[in-house]
Structure 1
Amino acid sequence: MSATIHQLGPSRSPSLDPIIQLVAADLNHVNTVILERMQSKVALIPELAGHLIAGGGKRMRPMLTLACARLLDYPGSRHHKLAAAVEFIHTATLLHDDVVDGSGLRRGRRTANIIWGNPASILVGDFLFSRSFELMVEDGSVKVLRILSRASAVIAEGEVDQLTAQRQVETDEDHYLGIISAKTAALFAAACRIAAVVAERDEDVEQALDAYGRNLGIAFQLIDDAIDYASSAEAMGKGVGDDFRDGKVTLPVILAFARGSDEDRNFWREAMSGGRIDDEDLAHATRLLRQSGAIDDTIARARTYGQRAIDALGPFPAGKAKSALAEAVEFAISRAY
Structure 2
Amino acid sequence: MSDNVVPMHSKSIEEDAQTAIDAMQELTNADMNLVNEIILSRMQSPVALIPELAGHLISSGGKRLRPMLTLAAAKLIGYEGKRHIGLATAVEFIHTATLLHDDVVDQSTLRRGKKTANLIWGNQPTVLVGDFLFSRAFELMVESDSLRVLKILSNTSAVITEGEVLQLTTANDLSTTEEKYLEVITAKTAVLFAAACEVTGVVSDQGTDVEAALSAYGKYLGIAFQLVDDALDYSAKQATMGKNVGDDFQEGKITLPVILAYRRGTDEEREFWKQTMQAVRQKEGDLDKALVILNSHGTLAATLDRARHYGEMAKDALAIFNDNPAKKAMLDIVDFCIARGY
TM range (shorter): over 0.9
1:13 counterpart letter in structure 2: D
Cα distance in 2 for partners of 1:115, 1:277 equals 27
Deviations 1:163-202 (CA, angstroms, capped at 9, x unpaired): 0100001101000000000000000000000010111111
Partner residue, 1:13? 16
Aligned with residue 309 of structure 1, among 307, 314, 323: 314
Kindly indicate whether the alpha-carbon contact (under 8 Å) linking 1:245 and 1:274 is maintained by their aligned counterparts in 2. Answer: no
Cα distance in 2 for partners of 1:235, 1:328 equals 20
Cα distance in 2 for partners of 1:157, 1:251 equals 19
Kindly indicate whether the alpha-carbon contact (under 8 Å) linking 2:171 and 2:253 is maintained by their aligned counterparts in 1. Answer: yes
Deviations 1:104-156 (CA, angstroms, capped at 9, x unpaired): 00001000000000000000000000000001111110010001001101100
Q: Map 1:259-274 onto structure 2 (within 5 A).
A: 259-274=264-279
- Structure 1 range deviating more: 15-24 or 271-280: 271-280
SS in 1 for 2:285: helix
How far the C-alpha of 1:238 sits from its partner, in A, is: 1.3
Instruction: Establish whether residue 291 from structure 1 lines up as the match of residue 296 from structure 2.
Output: yes
Q: Map 1:236-247 onto structure 2 (within 5 A).
A: 236-247=241-252
Partner residue, 1:249? 254
Kindly indicate whether the alpha-carbon contact (under 8 Å) linking 1:155 and 1:182 is maintained by their aligned counterparts in 2. Answer: yes
Cα distance in 2 for partners of 1:218, 1:63 equals 17
Kindly indicate whether the alpha-carbon contact (under 8 Å) linking 1:227 and 1:236 is maintained by their aligned counterparts in 2. Answer: no
Cα distance in 2 for partners of 1:12, 1:113 equals 34
Partner residue, 2:63? 58
Cα distance in 1 for partners of 2:244, 2:40 equals 29
Partner residue, 1:330? 335
TM-score computed with the length of structure 2 as normaliser: 0.94
Q: Map 1:162-241 onto structure 2 (within 5 A).
A: 162-241=167-246
Partner residue, 2:43? 38
Kindly indicate whether the alpha-carbon contact (under 8 Å) linking 1:154 and 1:182 is maintained by their aligned counterparts in 2. Answer: yes
How far the C-alpha of 1:10 sits from its partner, in A, is: 7.9
Partner residue, 1:6? none
Aligned with residue 159 of structure 2, among 134, 154, 157: 154
1:245 counterpart letter in structure 2: Q
Cα distance in 1 for partners of 2:336, 2:279 equals 34
Cα distance in 1 for partners of 2:188, 2:252 equals 17
SS in 2 for 1:277: coil
How far the C-alpha of 1:233 sits from its partner, in A, is: 4.2
How far the C-alpha of 1:334 sits from its partner, in A, is: 0.2
1:36 counterpart letter in structure 2: S
Partner residue, 1:114? 119
Cα distance in 2 for partners of 1:287, 1:142 equals 51
Identity of aligned residues (%): 58
CA spacing shift, 1:244–1:11, aligned 2, 3 Å: closer
Deviations 1:259-289 (CA, angstroms, capped at 9, x unpaired): 0011000101111135443451001101100
Partner residue, 1:76? 81
Cα distance in 1 for partners of 2:335, 2:329 equals 10
Kindly indicate whether the alpha-carbon contact (under 8 Å) linking 1:244 and 1:277 is maintained by their aligned counterparts in 2. Answer: no
Cα distance in 2 for partners of 1:218, 1:278 equals 32
How far the C-alpha of 1:231 sits from its partner, in A, is: 2.3
Deviations 1:6-53 (CA, angstroms, capped at 9, x unpaired): xxx989422311110000000000000000001100000000000000
Structure 1: which 5+ residue stretches go unaligned? 1-8
Corresponding pairs, count: 329
Partner residue, 1:5? none
Deviations 1:218-242 (CA, angstroms, capped at 9, x unpaired): 0000000001012244323211100
What's the Cα RMSD here?
Answer: 1.3
Cα distance in 1 for partners of 2:280, 2:112 equals 28
Kindly indicate whether the alpha-carbon contact (under 8 Å) linking 1:228 and 1:236 is maintained by their aligned counterparts in 2. Answer: no
How far the C-alpha of 1:212 sits from its partner, in A, is: 0.3
CA spacing shift, 1:11–1:271, aligned 2, 3 Å: closer
Instruction: Establish whether residue 126 from structure 1 lines up as the match of residue 131 from structure 2.
Output: yes
Structure 2: which 5+ residue stretches go unaligned? 1-11
Aligned with residue 98 of structure 1, among 93, 97, 103: 103
Cα distance in 2 for partners of 1:11, 1:248 equals 28
Cα distance in 1 for partners of 2:170, 2:68 equals 31
- List structure 1 segments (4+ residues) > 4 angstroms apart after TM superposition: 9-12
Cα distance in 1 for partners of 2:14, 2:48 equals 48
CA spacing shift, 1:318–1:172, aligned 2, 3 Å: same
